[in-house]
Chain A
């Protein structure tokens, strides 16, 4: 059965800290891995990763994929209270457009 697992489930840090969120997957027909940030409503897109070892970066956020070990990490440096959210990892199944979402990591950044 295809599955996506994120860790930790929940994390509380102080402003300025750096956090690393993990996503591991077991999916039969992998096409891509995506990271989303979810606040009060629907998820907003952060990154899409398809190739191993190539870091994607956007401001203080960065992400990388390891297709051999079947995991991805999302790094947030110099965290701010506005980074508080649920971070979701999803794997797209090839040929179907279907996304399998992970359990999510709830991040809270304290001032």
Chain B
């Protein structure tokens, strides 16, 4: 089946630094990718829709200047958490649309801890 990877798997950073998370579709091209955020014991919350070659579409309440999304190619989307703070600590999961039935395939997630 289709594979989506994320890098890094986990990251610990100091408050005030920026962190970049990559999401790659390994064996298919994805014109659309999604970024989700999950707090402990909570469900996935959609943050934004990432479209190749155009600006991301952010969900209500998600700061686009805080969470920069770049979908530079058909196989790569990046999420940059700028000036990270402890409240940004979370599990970030991407997904990509692909395959003959336009299914959604999830990446393994990135756990971000901001000290």
Given contacts A99-B46, A100-B46, A102-B43, contact A41 B104 (CB under 8 A): no
Q: Which of B12-20, B64-72, B79-87, B105-113 contacts A (4 or more CB under 8 A)?
A: B105-113
Indicate with 1 or 0, residue by residue over A77-109, a CB within 8 angstroms of chain B CB atoms. 000000000101010100011111111101000
Instruction: Choose from B41, B44, B49, B97 the contact partner of A101 (Cβ within 8 Å).
Output: B44
Asked whether any CB of chain B lies closer than 8 Å to the CB of A8, the reply is no
Place the interface of chain B in its size category. Answer: 10 to 19
Most buried by B among A88, A100, A101: A101
- Whether B107 pairs with A42 at a CB distance below 8 angstroms is yes
Contacts of A100 in B (CB 8 A): 46
- Whether A106 pairs with B46 at a CB distance below 8 angstroms is no
Q: For chains A and B in complex, what number of residue pairs have CB atoms within 8 angstroms?
A: 42
Given contacts A42-B93, A106-B41, contact A101 B109 (CB under 8 A): no
- Whether A42 pairs with B49 at a CB distance below 8 angstroms is no
Indicate with 1 or 0, residue by residue over A21-43, a CB within 8 angstroms of chain B CB atoms. 00000000000000000000111
- Whether A103 pairs with B43 at a CB distance below 8 angstroms is yes
Closest to A99 in B: B104
Main secondary structure of the interface of B (DSSP, over half): strand
Place the interface of chain A in its size category. Answer: 10 to 19
- Whether B108 pairs with A41 at a CB distance below 8 angstroms is yes
Given contacts A42-B106, A42-B109, contact A98 B46 (CB under 8 A): yes
- Whether B109 pairs with A98 at a CB distance below 8 angstroms is no
CA distance A47 to B108 in the complex (A): 19
Contacts of A96 in B (CB 8 A): 49
- Whether B34 pairs with A98 at a CB distance below 8 angstroms is yes
Asked whether any CB of chain A lies closer than 8 Å to the CB of B42, the reply is yes
- Whether A43 pairs with B44 at a CB distance below 8 angstroms is yes
Asked whether any CB of chain A lies closer than 8 Å to the CB of B102, the reply is yes
Contacts of B104 in A (CB 8 A): 92, 97, 99
Sample of 6 more A-B contacts, CB < 8 Å, known A97-B34, A103-B43? A86-B43, A97-B32, A97-B102, A99-B95, A101-B44, A101-B45
- Whether A98 pairs with B49 at a CB distance below 8 angstroms is yes
